């Protein structure tokens, strides 16, 4: 598809009333997405003083894909937080082919804008195993003041997978309860391959914070059967969210021992059916 057609279809195009009067628009309309000249022309457009034009250029670079990665890396330093956030998002959508962006995305995890930090974590997760160098920075991001950033970092660590497991096990002992809870969430996202974390997660079932205990129970359910006795004990936790997480986790193990939680199961299943779950 010609680049000019992509731009015409973009919502940003329609929100820029006078874009056709700008020099950048002429550049955008004169190149084709299948040529190297497209990226070169868009690099020029990324210097445009109009933020909407720069956002339009980032959107087009995303559609070009792999060849646009260097330009998007540079755009992570744009003066506009909205443009930086959109560039990080574009790199995430390109995925593992954007692995050259990992060092700059690691730096973006410290951006003053929370949306940029969140999208940087998202991008690292989408790059996946190729982003394993980002594990220490993502562990640090688990204590970010923004819940959105913490969640994105946990998701990224879960997507990176095995390389993140040792650091996540260590993070289960972090003084910050948000880090401990998010570390347990990430281990749950990794699933059965995080079997080495089972002893640490069982210990986390006794954490003083109920959110950590609940996350640990949920993670154990996704990892497998090794924690069934500890999960049965967690059914007696004083916090209802922990008991619920333990019951659901036992249900996921499909173990015959899980029958000890049958009463809780019926309540949890009833709630899930009520809200459209299975």
The phi-psi region of residue 276 (left if phi > 0; otherwise alpha if psi is between -120 and 50; otherwise beta) is left
Give the span between the Cα atoms of 243 and 248, in whole angstroms: 9
Q: Is 194 helix (H, G, I), strand (E, B) or coil?
A: helix
163 pLDDT more than 70: yes
pLDDT at 231: 83
Q: What is the pLDDT of residue 256?
A: 54
| CA 203 – CA 180 distance, rounded (Å) | 12
For 6-65, write each residue's pLDDT tens digit.
444 444 444 443 443 444 554 454 445 444 668 888 898 899 999 999 999 999 999 899
Q: Give the pLDDT score at 39.
A: 86
pLDDT at residue 5 greater than cutoff 50: no
Per-residue pLDDT at 12: 45
pLDDT tens, position by position, 165-211: 999 999 999 999 999 999 999 999 999 899 999 999 999 999 999 99
pLDDT digits (tens, 9 = 90+) for 63-85: 899 999 999 999 999 999 999 99
At 8 the pLDDT is: 45
pLDDT confidence of residue 251: 80
Phi-psi region of 144 (alpha: psi -120 to 50; beta: other; left: phi over 0): beta
Structure tokens given for 161: 């997978």
Domains of the chain: 196-278 (1.25.10.10)
Query: How far apart, in Å, do the first and last CA atoms of the chain sit?
Result: 43
pLDDT tens readout for residues 99-157: 999 999 999 999 999 999 999 999 999 999 999 999 999 999 999 999 999 989 999 99
Could you read off the pLDDT of 223-269 as tens digits, one per residue? 877 778 888 888 888 998 888 888 888 887 765 545 554 454 454 45
- Average pLDDT of the chain to the nearest whole number: 83
- Tokens 């990794």 correspond to 190
Helices 81-94 and 51-64 pack at an angle, to 10 degrees, of 10
pLDDT confidence of 273, banded at 50, 70, 90?
low
Instruction: With a cut of 70, say whether residue 2 has pLDDT above it.
Output: no
pLDDT of residue 22: 45
H helix intervals, 65-192:
69-75, 81-94, 102-108, 114-127, 135-141, 147-160, 165-171, 177-190
Token representation of residue 230: 């500890």
Residue 240's pLDDT is 87
Task: Judge whether 172 and 188 are in contact, CB under 8 Å.
Answer: no
């Amino acid at each position: 598809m010609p680049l000019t057609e992509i731009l015409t279809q973009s919502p940003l195009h329609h929100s820029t009333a006078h874009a056709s009067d700008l020099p950048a628009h002429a550049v955008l309309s004169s190149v084709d997405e299948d040529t190297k000249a497209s990226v070169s022309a868009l690099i020029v457009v990324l210097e445009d003083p109009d933020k909407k034009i720069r956002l339009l250029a980032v959107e087009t670079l995303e559609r070009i894909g792999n060849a646009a990665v260097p330009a998007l890396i540079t755009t992570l330093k744009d003066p506009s937080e909205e443009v930086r956030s959109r560039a990080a998002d574009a790199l995430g959508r390109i995925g593992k082919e954007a692995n050259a962006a990992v060092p700059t995305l690691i730096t973006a995890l410290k951006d003053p804008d929370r949306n940029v930090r969140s999208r940087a974590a998202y991008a690292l997760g989408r790059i996946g195993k190729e982003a394993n160098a980002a594990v220490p920075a993502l562990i640090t991001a688990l204590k970010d003041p923004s819940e959105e950033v913490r969640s994105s970092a946990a998701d990224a660590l879960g997507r990176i997978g095995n390389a993140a497991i040792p650091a996540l096990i260590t993070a289960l002992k972090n003084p910050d309860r948000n880090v401990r809870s998010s570390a347990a969430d990430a281990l749950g996202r990794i699933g059965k391959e995080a079997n080495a974390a089972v002893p640490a997660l069982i210990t986390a079932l006794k954490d003083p914070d109920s959110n950590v205990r609940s996350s640990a129970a949920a993670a154990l359910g996704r990892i497998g059967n090794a924690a069934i006795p500890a999960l049965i004990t967690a059914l007696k936790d004083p916090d209802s969210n922990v008991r619920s997480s333990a019951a659901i986790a036992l249900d996921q193990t499909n173990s015959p021992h899980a029958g000890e939680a049958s009463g809780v199961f019926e309540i949890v299943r009833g709630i899930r059916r009520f809200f459209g779950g299975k």
